[in-house]
Amino acid sequence: MMTLMPPDQTAPNTPESRPPPLDDLRRRIDEIDRRLVELLNERASIVVDVGRSKRASGAPIYAPHREAAVLEKVLSASRGPLPARTIEAIYRELMSGSFALEQPLRIGYLGPQGSFSHQAAVLQFGSSVSFEDLHTIGGVFTEVRRAHVDYGLVPIENSTGGGIVETLDAFRESRAEATIYAEVLINIHHNLLGACEPRDVRRIHSKPEIFSQCRQWLTTQYPRAELIASPSSSRAVIDARSELDADPARGSAAIASLLAGQLHGLEPLFEKIEDNPNNITRFFVISRQRAELSGDDKTSIMFQTDDKPGALVRVLSVFDRAGVNLSHIDKRPSGRENWTYTFFIDAQGHRDDARVRGAIEEASAHCVDLIVLGSYPRAKRIL
C-alpha cells in the first residue's frame, strides 16, 4: 500500500541532489588555499624585482595610476560570487604587502589613532605600511615636504559639512610644495562607544560637527545626556575611556569610529547612528611627486583673481569654452588683504591633457596667482 507524504513535507534528497560531504568541500578549499599561497608568493617574488627596478630608476613605490589599472583589471576579471568590494579589499591589502617588499612606506595622517583620517589611510594603504600620527593637517603637509613621511592623507571635503577649511588653508600656505597624488572616498559611520549598558549612558564625548550629524538620533535616544565637545573623535574616545576607568558609574561614552573603539577599549553600543546614511568624506593623498595620467583623472587648481568686476566669471568661462567640466569650487579668504579670496576648483582631466593644459594657461592670464595643486586618478569607488 502506498503511503502519501504530508503536503508540507519535502521529499528526501536524491543522491544526485545531495551536496558533497562537508569534509570533501573542506579538502577542496584546503587545496585551493595551498595553490593560492603558491601563487601569492610567486607574485611577491616578482614584486621584489619590481622594487629593485623602481629603486634603480628612481620611480615611486606607490603609483596611483598603476593602482587604478590593477584594480580595474581584477574587478573586470571577477565573475563572482565574491562582491567587488571584497575583491578590492583583498587586492588593496595585497598591494600593501607589496609596498613592504619593495620599500617600507610611512604614511602621515591627522590623528590621534582611530580618527577617520587614520581609518581612511588604512583602507587606502592596507595594514602592511607604517602610519604616523602627525596631530594637525598643517603637520601632515610639513612632514611630506620634509620627506619625513612618504605620503600624507588629509580630509578635503565632507558631503554633509562641506570643505575642510584647515586643509584649504594648508594648500594656500604650502603653495604646491606638496602635490595632490590621489583621492580617497570613504563612508563615514558614527558609532556610540562605551563600556556600560546603553541605558546607563549619561555623558557623551565627540566633535561638535559629529554631534550635529547625529542630532536627530541623539534627540530620540539621549535627550538628557550631557554632550561634551572634543577636538577630535579619537580624543573623545580617549577621554571617555579615562572617565570610565576613574569612575565606571559615570556613564561616559563617545561617538567615533569603530577603529577608535578597538584601539582604546570601548565597545559599540549602537552602530551607524548618523542622521544621513550617505555621509561621505573625501580625502587627498599628498606627495612630493606628480601622479601620471590614468585615463580618468581630476586636476585641482588654486587661484586668486584680479580685483575687477567679472574676474571670477572670466576664469570659469575659460574652462567652459575649453569643454573642461568643473566638478567642485570652494573659496577661502586670501590671507593677504580683506575681502580678497583664494578659489579652489576641481577640473575633470589631467594637467597634461591638451584641453586642460590650454585652459590653465589661458585662465592664468586672468589671475593674480594660479597654482596647480595636482592631477590624480578619479576615485571611482567608496571604501
Domains and CATH numbers, the chain: 40-49+60-187+285-289 (3.40.190.10), 191-270 (3.40.190.10), 292-377 (3.30.70.260)
On the question of pLDDT at 189 being above 50, the answer is: yes
Question: Can you give the pLDDT at residue 102?
Answer: 87
Q: How confident is the model at residue 199 (pLDDT cuts 50, 70, 90)?
A: very high
Q: How confident is the model at residue 16 (pLDDT cuts 50, 70, 90)?
A: low
Instruction: Retrieve residue 345's grid coordinates.
Output: 576648483
What percent of the chain is predicted at pLDDT more than 90? 74
Q: How confident is the model at residue 272 (pLDDT cuts 50, 70, 90)?
A: very high
Instruction: Retrieve residue 290's grid coordinates.
Output: 606628480
Least confident of 38-42, 111-115, 263-267, 338-342: 338-342
> What's the whole-number mean pLDDT along residues 321-331?
94
CA distances from 285 to 74, 168, 188, 251, 323 (A): 23, 14, 18, 38, 27
On the question of pLDDT at 236 being above 50, the answer is: yes
> What's the whole-number mean pLDDT along residues 31-41?
95
On the question of pLDDT at 176 being above 70, the answer is: yes
On the question of pLDDT at 244 being above 90, the answer is: yes
pLDDT in tens, 298-319: 999 999 987 788 889 999 999 9
On the question of pLDDT at 15 being above 60, the answer is: no
pTM: 0.85
Q: How confident is the model at residue 371 (pLDDT cuts 50, 70, 90)?
A: very high
> What's the whole-number mean pLDDT along residues 176-201?
94
Question: Cα separation of 62 and 50, whole Å?
Answer: 12
H helices within 186-273, ranges in order? 208-213, 215-221, 233-246, 258-264
Question: Can you give the pLDDT at residue 112?
Answer: 86
CA distances from 186 to 30, 65, 267, 283, 303 (A): 34, 19, 22, 8, 28
Question: Cα separation of 104 and 85, whole Å?
Answer: 26
CB of 280 closer than 8 Å to CB of 187: yes
pLDDT in tens, 77-109: 999 899 998 999 999 999 999 988 888 899 999
Q: Is 236 exposed, middle or buried (0-12, 13-18, 19+ CB in 10 A)?
A: buried
What percent of the chain is predicted at pLDDT more than 70? 95
Question: Cα separation of 291 and 270, whole Å?
Answer: 40
On the question of pLDDT at 232 being above 90, the answer is: no
Average pLDDT over the chain, rounded to whole? Answer: 91
Q: How confident is the model at residue 333 (pLDDT cuts 50, 70, 90)?
A: confident
Q: Which of 162, 107, 146 is nearest to 130 (CA)?
A: 107
Question: Can you give the pLDDT at residue 306?
Answer: 79
On the question of pLDDT at 196 being above 80, the answer is: yes
In the chain, count H helices and then E strands.
12, 15
Residue 230: strand, helix, or coil: coil
Q: How confident is the model at residue 1 (pLDDT cuts 50, 70, 90)?
A: very low
Q: How many CB atoms lie within 10 A of CB 373?
A: 23
pLDDT in tens, 152-165: 999 999 888 788 88
Main-chain phi, psi angles of 58, to 5 degrees:
80, 15
Q: How confident is the model at residue 7 (pLDDT cuts 50, 70, 90)?
A: low
> What's the whole-number mean pLDDT along residues 344-349?
96
Question: Cα separation of 300 and 180, whole Å?
Answer: 8
Q: How many CB atoms lie within 10 A of CB 88?
A: 17
CB-based burial, 272-285: b 16+ in 10 Å, e otherwise: ebbeeeebebbbbb
